[in-house]
Amino acid sequence: NAGVMQNPRHLVRRRGQEARLRCSPMKGHSHVYWYRQLPEEGLKFMVYLQKENIIDESGMPKERFSAEFPKEGPSILRIQQVVRGDSAAYFCASSPLGLDTEAFFGQGTRLTVV
Amino acid sequence: GESVGLHLPTLSVQEGDNSIINCAYSNSASDYFIWYKQESGKGPQFIIDIRSNMDKRQGQRVTVLLNKTVKHLSLQIAATQPGDSAVYFCAETGAGGTSYGKLTFGQGTILTVHP
């Protein structure tokens, strides 16, 4: 059973470009969470999605960031017009149920904005 | 806002020693606590969890202690090995009704094990 798969592992974008980060949850998991980790800091919650629904986006910046989890295919975290401050590691986690279950993390996508 | 924090940012131990990593949390209504291990360039890896109705839980070589009175959480690693070197995070979920996937992480403690 493959774990949570994120790609790409490393992504370099110039300021003003768009970044698309993909996350395929573990088989059987319908709940996905995105986190951001700045260097030498803990992970910060961004958004919680179920298939075709955003459940909690309280950690998402108000502008330029969006997330989706379509009925088919991976969850996508999209960052428009990237700035240097967006450089970070972005982690996706998945769980089979929203409540009372452990979330499993992927290996992350390291975004570098130059 | 609510936060989870760690007392010690770094910890160096000799191989074979026991390690204790501490964590303070501020949300007294937190239901569930988890310790994660993160190696360089990798995602967080679940180590052990504990619910708020427990004060101790043991795993293989690891023990988590929860003191709700002082809102303190600790991770004990027995017979620490070089492979245990990593950053350790405590994390907590909110009160009942909050998704367990929505976690508040502490800053992290760097554990270095010397052979």
Of A42, A95, A108, the CB nearest to B101: A95
3-state secondary structure of B115: coil
Chain-chain contact of B107 with A41 (C-beta, under 8 angstroms): yes
Q: How confident is the model at residue A38 (pLDDT cuts 50, 70, 90)?
A: confident
For B54-98, how does the pLDDT look when each residue is reduced to its tens digit (9 = 90+)? 999 999 999 999 999 999 999 999 999 999 999 999 998 866 555
* B28: pLDDT strictly greater than 60: yes
Q: How far apart are CA B110 and CA A110, in angstroms?
A: 20
Q: Side-chain half-sphere of A36: how many Cα atoms within 13 Å?
A: 18
First to last CA, chain A: 36
> Is A41 part of the contact surface with chain B (CB cutoff 8 Å)?
yes
CA–CA min distance B78, chain A (Å): 24
- Ramachandran assignment for B16, one of left (phi > 0), alpha (psi -120 to 50 degrees), beta (any other): left
